[in-house]
Structure 1
Amino acid sequence: MKNIFVPFCGITWCGFDAENIHQLSLSIWFCMSSSCTSNLIALIAICGVLALFTFITSATVLLVFLLNEKLQNSQGIYKISFAISDIMVGAVVIPSFAITLVLFTIRDEKMGDVYPDTPYNSSISERYDSVPRLPGGYLDEKLTASYRNGIGFFTFISLTVSVYTLLLAGFDRLAVVRKPLRYSRDTAKKNAIKAVVVMWLIAVVLSCLPYFVNGMEYGLLASALIAVYGQSSLYVYTVVFALPLLTIWITSI
């Protein structure tokens, strides 16, 4: 018995006995109402349209700035960085929402391991469901570790680059306003290139932390978003989101 965590489906309970789950190919798709399946299909279609639109527009922006040298000033460098991160969003992040929902609904349900306190002689039975078992449906059974790590990496790096590109572009505009006479376009462009390269390297390092740091991993958040979670994830979110956004707010006063 389990609840189907699919957006716009409400509370839909799905129940199978352990024997049928073990012998048959059953998924929560069989328990979903017609309205729920329609909502899911519509959501997948919307994700597809948004992904395609985001990818095409971001790729167009990138080409425009790369082909036009007049636009390749300091702000142009930051916009190129934005465009690359948005291409990741359109190519990987948004499509992953639809893929994750599909995997959760069509993958076969499985029972968990035998309950630890089960007496030894009670496991000798012809029926699979005569032995107490732990609940199934774990995350690893629906979304493999390689899938979570791959999608999580591109999701986190795109979010990190977007936030810090906005921060760096804000510093560049602040320099124009505060010290207009000392502001040099050539120097600003060189500094922008260096800053963007360093920022991307830092974003890659931060996105790789869940692979090596204990208490941090890529997992499912908000039904479809794969991002960093765990005991140490708060520190990462503080560095990636809280500090730069707070800095932007302070410098804009």
Structure 2
Amino acid sequence: MPLKVSEVAELAGISVRTLHHYDEIGLLTPEEVTEAGYRLYSDGNLETLQQILFFKELGFPLKHIKEIMSSPSFDRQEALELHRKMLLEKRRQLDKMIATITKTIQHTRGEIQMSNKEKFEGFDFSHNPYEKEARKRWGDEAVDKANAKVGSLSKDEQAAWGEAMNAIYTKLAALRGSSPESDESQAAIKEWYDFLNRMGQYSPEAFRGLGQMYVDDERFTRNIDQFGEGLAVFMRDAMAVYADRHQE
């Protein structure tokens, strides 16, 4: 029996507005729309929605999900197997991080002692989940140079690099309520520009494009906004101002 949009939303734990959006962009078209305008979803629609949500859970943007699922070569069974492998790897990584956090809590309470090596178990900067996206946008050479530089660092150096990156995000998050054009905002975003250029080569214009991707790609937005809601938008605007002021 076909389900109404409100029933599908409740079943999947998403909003009616989200389902309307999926319909509008051609990602999930309901089996039927009644004369009164009600969307009705079939079992096949529900299978498609499940697949979409698996992709979303793994960080794929809607545009790419649509491209993948509309391809004649798309194999649902193969995709499900891949999703399972990726989620198991994600769980493995999370389990290691949870163990490290638990030990750190015990360490701060004075219940156990942690070695420096134990403090960073679970952190892994050698794998970049956005590498394919970066290669597509900026080309193999730039990414290879950045990867080579990161890969040449020791585990402790990679951890220090991650801490420095998080410190800049935290500083920018504290400024996100101010104007992106302010001296303080521009000083902080310059730190981000200089940090990125220690790992690769970014012209002011490439820096602007990167900032735009922070907003266009929901994977980046979700991760950046963990430091404070609206941070990705603030960084985009501040990066655009910086690029305007430092045209080559």
TM-score in terms of structure 1 length: 0.28
Normalized against structure 2, the TM-score is what?
Answer: 0.29
